Amino acid sequence: MRGGMGNMQNMMKQMQKMQKKMAEAQEELGEKRLEGTAGGGMVTVIVSGHKEVLEVNIKEEVVDPEDIDMLQDLVLAATNEALKKADELTSSTMGKFTQGMNIPGL
């Protein structure tokens, strides 16, 4: 019975260490910058590892009032590419902590 309590305390310590490492990894993800582009580099979107759009850059030659629909499509495509990269980074970074665990949102 006594050995069981020691094992439980060790497991709790390990869980606390893992929580701390996960929090540090989440913070590092927020500092990452991922870039998505569309239209051969005419539109660029930068997002954080937390999937926050930080910048949208559109080259001057793209802005023509007649092409507003195309511009919107390019911004959408670049944003989705950057967010996909953020998902991939999150999966590869956080996956080492959640192997075999089903944690919603990760």
CATH of the domain at 28: 3.30.1310.10
Number of structural domains found in the chain = 1
Confirm whether pTM is higher than 0.85. no
Domain-located, residue 71: yes
Question: What H or E segment, with its residue span, contains residue 33?
Answer: strand 33-38
* pLDDT score of 33: 93
Provide the pLDDT for residue 104: 58
C-alpha closest to that of 58 among 41, 73, 46: 41
Q: Is 106 contained in some domain?
A: no
Res 37: pLDDT: 92
Question: Cβ contacts of residue 75 below 8 Å, gap of 6+?
Answer: 38, 43, 45, 56, 58
Task: Divide the 106 residues of the chain into consecutive groups of 10 and give the mean pLDDT of each group.
Answer: 72 89 87 91 87 84 78 84 87 75 58
